[in-house]
Chain A
Amino acid sequence: MNLDARRNVILSFIVLVIGIYLFRLFYMQVLDETWTLRAQEIAEKRKEIFPPRGVIFDRNGKKIVTNQTYYNLMMVEDSIQNLDTAAFAKLIGWTTQEVRQRFNDIVKGEGTYYNKITGKRTSNYQKIRAYPFLKELTLEEMSKIAPHLANFKGFHEEATSARNYPFKSAANILGYLSEVTREEIEEDHFYKPGNNIGRAGIERFYETELRGVKGIKYIVTSALNNAIESYADGKYDTTARQAEPLKMGMDVVLQAYGEQLMQKKKGCIVAIEPSTGEILSMVSAPSYDPNLLVGKRNISSNYPKLATDPNLPLFPRPLQAEYPPGSIFKLVQSLIAMQEGVITANTGFPCDKSLVGCHNHPSARNIAEAIQYSCNPYYYMAVRRIIQQGVKKNNFADAEYGLNKWYRYIRSFGLGDVFDTDVSGQRAGLIPNSKFYDKWYGHHTWAFSTIRSISIGQGEVKLTPLQMANIVAIIANKGWYYTPHFVRSIGRKGPLPEFKKRHWTMINYKHFDPVIEGMRRVVNEAGGTGKMARLEDILVCGKTGTVQNPHGEDHSVFFAFAPMHKPKIAVAVFVENAGWGGTWAAPIASLIIEKYLKGKVSDPDKEKRILEAQIAYKSSN
Chain B
Amino acid sequence: MRKEESLTANLDWPLFGAIIAMLIMGLATVYSVAFNEEAPSLFSFSEKYGRQLFWIIFSLFLGLLVFLIDADIYRRFAIPIYLSTLVLLVIVLFMPAVHGAHAWLGVGSFGVQPAEFAKISTSLLLAKYISGLTVKQQTTGTVLTASSILLIPMVLILLQPDAGTFVVFTSFLFVMYREGLTFDPILLNFVNAIPGVRYKETWVGSHFIPILFALVLLSIITLLLDAVVFHVNLFSLELELSGSSGVIFGLLVIYLISWLLMQRFSTRRERSRMMVVLTLGLIIASAISFTVDKGFDMLRPHQKDRIELFLGLREDPNGDDYNRNRAMAAVGSGGFLGKGYREASVSSVRSNHVPESETDFIFCPFAEEWGFVGVLILFALYLFVLFRIIIIAERQRSAFNRIYAYCVAMILFYHFAINIGMNIGFAPVIGIPLPLFSYGGSSMMSFSVMLFILLKLDAQRKDVLR
Contacts and interface: CB of A to CB of B under 8 A. Distances in A.
Interface of A: 1, 3-4, 6-7, 9-11, 13-18, 20-26, 28-30, 32, 34-36, 38-44, 117-120, 220-224, 228
B461 to A, nearest CB: 17
A34 B210 contact: no
Contacts, number: 131
Interface string B370-410: 01100110010011001100100010000000000010011
Given A1-B180, A29-B372, A38 B325 contact: yes
Interface of B: 135, 174, 177-180, 201, 206-207, 210, 213, 217, 221, 227, 250, 254, 315, 321, 325-326, 328-336, 345-346, 350-353, 367-368, 371-372, 375-376, 379, 382-383, 386-387, 390, 394, 406, 409-410, 413, 417, 420-421, 424, 426
A43 B351 contact: yes
Contacts of B333: 29, 35-36, 38-40
Given A21-B424, A29-B375, A120-B315, 16 more contacts: A6-B177, A6-B180, A7-B390, A10-B409, A13-B213, A17-B417, A20-B250, A23-B250, A24-B426, A29-B333, A29-B334, A30-B336, A38-B333, A39-B329, A43-B353, A224-B352
The main secondary structure of chain A at its interface with chain B is helix
Contacts of A42: 326, 329, 346, 353
A5 to B, nearest CB: 10
10 contacts: A3-B180, A6-B180, A13-B174, A14-B413, A28-B331, A28-B424, A29-B335, A29-B372, A34-B332, A35-B329
A210 B368 CA distance: 43
A223 B178 contact: no
A222 B177 CA distance: 47
A223 B177 contact: no
A488 B444 CA distance: 76
A183 B179 CA distance: 71
A183 to B, nearest CB: 31
Nearest to B335: A29
Nearest to B227: A119
Chain B CB within 10 A, most for which of A1, A35, A36: A35
A30 B353 contact: no
A30 B174 contact: no
B334 A228 contact: no
Closest 3 CB pairs of A and B: A35-B332, A39-B333, A38-B329
Nearest to B426: A24
Chain B CB within 10 A, most for which of A10, A20, A38, A120: A10
Nearest to A6: B178
B438 to A, nearest CB: 17
Contacts of B135: 1
B350 A228 contact: yes
B383 A14 contact: yes
A511 to B, nearest CB: 78
B331 A35 contact: yes
Given A29-B331, A35-B333, A21 B371 contact: no
A32 to B, nearest CB: 7
Given A22-B375, A222-B353, A28 B328 contact: yes
B181 to A, nearest CB: 10
B180 A22 contact: no
A28 B346 contact: no
A128 to B, nearest CB: 9
Contact of B345 (A4, A6, A23, A44): A44
